[in-house]
Amino acid sequence: MALVEPIPDDPAAIADLGDETALVVADFHAGIEDHLRHEQGINLDSRAGKRREQMYALIDRTDPDRVVFLGDLMQSIAGPGGAERGEIEVLLESIDVPVTLVKGNHDGDIESWIDCEVTPGDGVRLGNVGFAHGHTWPSRDVLSADVVCVGHEHPCVRLEDSVGGSRVERIWLRGGLDSEAFEEKVGGEFDGELIVFPAFNDLTGGTWVNIEGQGFLAPFLPEGLANGEAYLLDGARLGRYDTI
């Protein structure tokens, strides 16, 4: 079994940390509906309950020893509103295993009120797996792991059919970790695998990796991903992401 295995049909993975297993999800973005309403004038009913139920189902299905949120548990970069904070507090109160939040760029000062472990922005290594959100450079300790997991990018692909119709699908990106891309900022020699997680929240939008002119968000992408391949949530391999 690989150290990090995506869960078929879900934007989540199981990670083997040596002495425990972790359920890993990226970019939960609690309270995004309020953001869309106030910032973009898009009115949507709250999907907080649906997000919680999806998390509970994943926990029941995988029986992990730990849950790792790979950054951006919050949507508000500043202090969260009541609904957003309430969504996070209810969610965490209902998870009966330890929770680690790898701090992302949307998570503000969440460590001042959240009831779980919060790592620095450059990530944390647990066993042979490194975790970082991806908005900034991961630490050398994270990059030295056998597998490095990041979020932030919300990778997507636009697929077209034979009659001109199209749809956008969330994807995984997997490839080698190109040490040269990190040499100037971090230093060191790294030869692990890099996995870019899809966003858990399907309202976030993302980087369409097969559309010309779409730039990556992470400062180390795409250079840090060697021979990167794309996979749909159902596990279908699409091949090299830059040739789709």
Q: What pLDDT is recorded for position 161?
A: 74
Identify the CATH number of the domain in which residue 178 sits: 3.60.21
Q: What pLDDT is recorded for position 37?
A: 57
- For residue 41, what pLDDT band results from cuts at 50, 70 and 90? low
- For residue 46, what pLDDT band results from cuts at 50, 70 and 90? low
- For residue 140, what pLDDT band results from cuts at 50, 70 and 90? very high
Q: Which residue has the higher pLDDT, 92 or 36?
A: 92
Among 149, 172, 199, 195, which Cα is nearest to 30's?
Answer: 199
Q: Which of 25-29, 32-36, 238-242 has the lowest mean pLDDT?
A: 32-36
Write down the pTM of the prediction.
0.92
Residues 6+ apart with CB under 8 A from 96: none
The tally of domains found in the chain comes to 1
Q: Which residue has the higher pLDDT, 183 or 244?
A: 183
- For the chain, give the mean pLDDT: 89
- For residue 135, what pLDDT band results from cuts at 50, 70 and 90? very high
Q: What is the mean pLDDT of residues 92-111?
A: 92
Q: What pLDDT is recorded for position 78?
A: 60
Pair type for strands 193-196 and 147-150: parallel
Q: What pLDDT is recorded for position 189?
A: 86
Structural domain harbouring 45: 4-243
Structure tokens at 202: 């399907």
**Phi, psi of 173, deg, nearest 5:** -115, 130
Q: What pLDDT is recorded for position 115?
A: 87
Q: What pLDDT is recorded for position 193?
A: 97
Q: What pLDDT is recorded for position 44?
A: 57
Q: Which percentage of the chain shows pLDDT scores above 90?
A: 64
